[in-house]
Amino acid sequence: MPDLATLDFPAIFATMLPFILIGFAAQVVDGALGMAFGVINNTLLVVLLGMPPALASASVHAVETFTTAASGISHIAHRNVDWRLFRRLVIPGMIGGALGAYVLSNIDGAVARPFVMAYLSLMGLYLLYRAYRGPVTPKRPKIIEPLGLVGGFLDAAGGGGWGPVVTSNLLVQGAAPRTTIGTVNTSEFFLTATISATFIATLGLKAFTLQTLGILIGGLLAAPIGAVVAKRVPARKLMAMVGGLLTVTSAYSVWSALAK
């Protein structure tokens, strides 16, 4: 146990502050639009800090276990959750997440990432079209369980993807933006808990660093804000925001992969 008198708290705080701010911003976006927390933070840890992909994904999912719990509680409080959709998503998502975490811990699961991101870029453009030109009358989606399985797998193996894959595809099927975002965020807690447990079993506790603690603090501070935004922003604007964010982040990921 370290002596508290010997710890340099100003230096520790200075190390954590940028990650607190990034975690805060990423969670506001994720809570409001149903995506981007994992993508933003995983990219930061891999590109700027040089973390191995498996360790970065483990770190982000360890943080998300707490932030998704806080975000889910907030979405439930604001009645943003479709419980029927939740029940159909959560079990396939957990199964896919465990498989993806195992794959990333043992082999390189990033090979397919550029293809997935290219697909998501097209989904983003289609959502932008739907927001500005197409109908936004909600209807119940039909393809749910396979979507949860694929989304959970890609989230663990690719270091982020549950929100972009699941939220975008449910919206393309005509699901209501507010309850889709709230449901996907709430079910994500069970997904991240499963992925984190799998990573801890295979990699140990190496994921817990000062940087991840900073992301956790920022994410917890921001978690209640996203649910309020999702509840108050009109459906058409919410869909446009999701489509724009998905297009930009996915296109950037494709460009980064091809530039290597």
3: left (phi over 0), alpha (psi -120 to 50) or beta: beta
Between 110 and 131, residue with greater pLDDT:
131
Q: How much is the mean pLDDT over the chain?
A: 78
Q: Where are the domains of the chain?
A: 10-259
CA 251 vs. chain centroid, Å, equals: 17
* Residue 76: predicted pLDDT: 92
pLDDT of 40 higher than 90: no
Q: Where are the alpha helices (DSSP H) in the chain?
A: 9-33, 37-43, 53-77, 83-106, 113-132, 145-158, 162, 168-172, 177-203, 210-232, 235-259
List, for residues 224-233, the tens digit of each pLDDT value.
888 888 788 7
Q: Around 134, how many Cα atoms within 13 Å sit in the side-chain half-sphere?
A: 15
Between 209 and 141, residue with greater pLDDT:
141
List, for residues 176-222, the tens digit of each pLDDT value.
888 888 899 899 888 888 877 777 776 666 666 777 788 888 888 88
Average pLDDT over residues 105-120: 62
Find, among 33, 38, 1, 29, the residue nearest to 171 by Cα. 33
Q: How confident is the model at residue 4 (pLDDT cuts 50, 70, 90)?
A: very low
Angle between helices 145-158 and 113-132 (to 10 degrees): 130
pLDDT of 136 higher than 70: no
pTM of the model as a whole: 0.73
**If 0-12 CB within 10 Å is exposed, 13-18 middle and 19+ buried, where does residue 18 land?**
middle
Most confident of the following: 33-37, 81-85, 168-172, 196-200: 81-85
Find, among 169, 181, 171, the residue nearest to 74 by Cα. 181
* Residue 3: predicted pLDDT: 44
